[in-house]
Amino acid sequence: MKKAEREKLLAEKLVRMKRFEDKLRESGTEYIGGIDEVGRGPLAGPVVAACVVLPADFDVLGVDDSKKLTDKKRRELDVLIREKALAYGYGMRDNVEIDRINILNATKEAMKDAISEADDMLALKHGKRIEHVLIDAVRLDGIPAEETPIVKGDQNSVSIAAASIIAKVKRDDMMIRYSEEYPGYAFESNKGYGTKAHYEGIRARGITPIHRKSFLKGIV
């Protein structure tokens, strides 16, 4: 496929992925946060959430569900998203908190922190507050904005997809750093997921301080 043809397809996809945001703007809602998380399934490491508020004229091509992108592409888009965004924020809950309150509640708390951080940035930079949030198939209580959960949101909303990308890059970098602190588990490649190399590391070395004990019942 020629470059021009590919860019045309990506531009058409961007239009489709803006439809939730465009509908909200048509009703007068301007400041929309897209929220997603990364790291619900791994055996080790934190769950990381991100919230991104994009401008109406956001025009970066290729934004998609982070799982569909290469590491190189995610990192290129991560820079562009953060440069173009009106605001963004992160939230995190570590393995200890995941074990204490369970992964779903930890994810929700991380999402709330991400919204709060993005909201503060939006207020500081633009004097505005987030009016509505689009979330990847989760409902949150106690947030100061209307919300719309979207099934497969990271494939259908550009704001949620953007959040999935910056959250993924943030968490991947954390797990790469952990791989240096805790060698032998291949965290640099598996990012804490249960790969063969990871299980071999657990059998040979035991668990680390970043392992989720509630995810390892019956394994160790």
Query: What is the per-residue pLDDT for 43?
Result: 98
Query: What is the per-residue pLDDT for 217?
Result: 86
Residue with tokens 């982070």: 66
Q: Is residue 126 part of a domain?
A: yes
Say how many domains are in the chain.
Answer: 1
Residue 4 reports pLDDT greater than 90: no
Q: Is residue 28 part of a domain?
A: yes
- CA torsion 173-175-176-178 (nearest 10°) is 130
| 111: number of Cβ within 10 Å | 28
Sheet holding 47-53, edge to edge: 87-93, 47-53, 32-38, 132-136, 146-150
Q: Is residue 69 part of a domain?
A: yes
pLDDT in tens, 66-106: 999 999 999 999 999 999 999 999 999 999 999 999 999 99
Confidence tier at 21 by pLDDT (50, 70, 90): very high
Residue 120, judged by CB atoms within 10 A of its CB (0-12, 13-18, 19+), counts as middle
Q: What number is the average pLDDT over the span 146-159? A: 94
Query: What is the per-residue pLDDT for 220?
Result: 65
Q: Is residue 72 part of a domain?
A: yes
Here the CATH number for the domain that contains residue 112 is: 3.30.420.10
CA distance 67 to 77: 13
User: Cα dist. 179→60, 75, 175 in Å?
Assistant: 32, 19, 6
With a CB cutoff of 8 Å and minimum separation 6, the contacts of 77 are: 60, 62, 63, 69, 162, 165
Q: Is residue 198 part of a domain?
A: no
Q: Is residue 184 part of a domain?
A: no
Q: Is residue 177 part of a domain?
A: no
Query: What is the per-residue pLDDT for 136?
Result: 87
Which pTM value belongs to this model? 0.96
Confidence tier at 7 by pLDDT (50, 70, 90): confident
Query: What is the per-residue pLDDT for 137?
Result: 83
Query: What is the per-residue pLDDT for 141?
Result: 85
33 in Cβ contact with 118 (< 8 Å):
yes
**Range of the structural domain that residue 104 is part of:** 3-167
Q: Are strands 132-136 and 32-38 parallel, antiparallel or unpaired?
A: parallel
Q: What number is the average pLDDT over the span 3-25? A: 93
Q: Is residue 209 part of a domain?
A: no
